Amino acid sequence: MIKVTLKDGSVKEFEAGLSVYEIAKSISEGLARNACCGIVNNKVVDLRFQINEDVSLGICTFDNQEGKDAVRHSISHVLAYAVKKLFPEVKLAIGPSITTGFYYDFDKDVAFTASDLEKIEAEMQKIIKENPEISRFELPRNEALELMKDEPYKVELINDLPKDETISFYKMGDFTDLCAGPHLMSLKPVKAIKLTRSAGAYWRGDEKNKMLTRIYGTAFLKKADLDEFLEALEEAKKRDHNKLGRELGIFTTDEKVGQGLPLLMPKGAKIFQTLQRWIEDEEAKRGYVLTKTPFMSKNDLFKASGHWDHYKDGMFILENEGDDSEVLALRPMTCPFQFTVYNAEQHSYRDLPIRYNETSTLFRKESSGEMHGLIRVRQFTLAEGHIVCTPEQVEEEFRGVIDLIDYVMSTLGIASDITYRFSKWDPNNTEKYINNPEAWESTQNQMRVILDHLNINYTEAEGEAAFYGPKLDIQFKNVHGKEDTIITVQIDFALAERLGMSYIDKNGEKKIPFVIHRSSIGCYERTIAMLIEKYAGAFPTWLAPVQAKVLPISDKYNDYADSVVKALRNKGVRVEADYRAEKIGYKIREARLERTPYILVVGEKEAANNEVSVRSRKNDDEGAIKLDVFIERILSEIANKER
């Protein structure tokens, strides 16, 4: 007999050798009927998985993300099955589940058309209706390679597996695929599927590899849930910053400029400037001192900091003609530059903490398959900062950083949309990190204590740390459900020593300081993308690139409209006027489409009484208001950063 600790903490005894499904069935027929997979000792497993020792066990239904993943991973195999039936010459790559569905990558000479997707989806429906038996089996490496000999991508995956790795397959009808699982016991519960789009994707995300065709889809157990998802998907498309940002004239791209190098148009530049001035002023209030450092450096600096060893592949390296001994690189981060500023003077413990900030233009060699709008680019601007402090000051300074981030996120209106991830090193991948296990454990424990003191609700992720220390990542999901890091806070135990940083303590001894790497708003481009999607382009008045638009009813009132514009502009309000000889209804509709917070219509009555007829996003038609009263109102709204 074995003991199984269930999710509610209860312990039950079962015969050894029972599967997760059999244990679920012994607990409840309903649970077994709805089960999608299991979690044994924190590892997601197939319902077929046999338990032979004492374990902790969770049974996952579609209500759990793990259950959704098992369903959608199973349907990704149905997609591959359907494609092979319709297009037998196509080669299979990979087909994982993702947060909102699944995808499968295929090698096909000509990309799938919209008509092809319709045929594939119909074939998938047919397979699901037939409900072929699903079985799992394992093979030794040589037999696995023989089975997959006609699938070159599968052969590559098998050859890359560790020698002791179990090589498992799933068979569905007469279709077999290399897969670790988990999968459903049966396709019968799946009542609703949809293929949503296709796109290009490099094999293994490497632009040096072949471009494959990726088909995205999703699956649900109820048609009503699929309908709700598709409705949300349409709303997401409307809010997608890559589409909406261009339509609203916030940014553009051009092939002659290059991929991952967006150009901010006047409206986008104004949003950027507004955010930057706010952040720099707020950081100054909190004791930060500004630096301005070069966009590039000799690689000697990056060698000293360790970036050359751990980050070289992500850097743009420049050749210095006529001097083979000097290699220059565009900076991917600012820390070694600000540390060099620190080293320009000898510091006492009385000087610490020193809080440096800089609005930094940075460059990272992102692969073409990863770049997307303003979210992932090759040149970006970061509200970067580094706090140099004594060991005793670390927790208080960390607390101050979190307080600043909380203020920024709350003011932007996205505090409730973010999550926290404690990113740790991977002790099994020491090449990726500075190899000092004792320092890693000590620093990670210190950060965990600080996070717990701050009552931050966080998840832990192994292998996501910076190469020089653990970090707190602030995560945000875009409208399509993809999660990105928008801000990081890092405790650094290594770079200060590597770059010779020191301070004189109260006993006159030279000591190595601690360093906290941080941002306050993150990458401005990514933040603007996030805000476009959050507000569907209808920015709060204080952030809106155009805060008010003045619309004269006819050209007879252009002079009065001009005086209204001057009065607002003199008070710092971002205002435009529409003097076109168009009907007023047309001009109002255009201003609304531009998401302008305030539309000010002026005609004979308004000109006579020094008024403006106000239409606001919040209240629609508000009628005539004295101009000076309106100016006072909008200035208060901007100053208080109202949403």
User: Annotated binding residues, as ranges?
Assistant: 335, 386, 517
Pick from 135, 129, 213, 225: which is nearest to 177 by CA? Answer: 135
| Cα(487)–Cα(494) distance, integer angstroms | 21
Query: What is the 8-class DSSP label of residue 313?
Result: G
Containing H/E element for 83?
helix 65-86
Tokens at 284, concatenated: 């100054």
Specify the 3-state DSSP secondary structure of 429. coil
Positions at the binding site for Zn(2+): 335, 386, 517
Specify the 3-state DSSP secondary structure of 226. helix
| Residue 527: exposure state from Cβ atoms within 10 A (0-12, 13-18, ≥19) | buried
CB 95 within 8 A of CB 84: no
Q: What is the CA radius of gyration of the chain?
A: 29
Distances (CA, A) of 328 to 254, 296, 377, 379, 525: 27, 7, 21, 17, 26
| Cα(260)–Cα(184) distance, integer angstroms | 40
| Cα(465)–Cα(451) distance, integer angstroms | 16
Which residues, including other chains, have CB under 8 Å from residue 539's CB and lie 6 or more apart? 271, 531, 545, 595, 597
| Cα(27)–Cα(633) distance, integer angstroms | 63
CB 303 within 8 A of CB 336: no
For strands 514-523 and 379-389, give the pairing. antiparallel
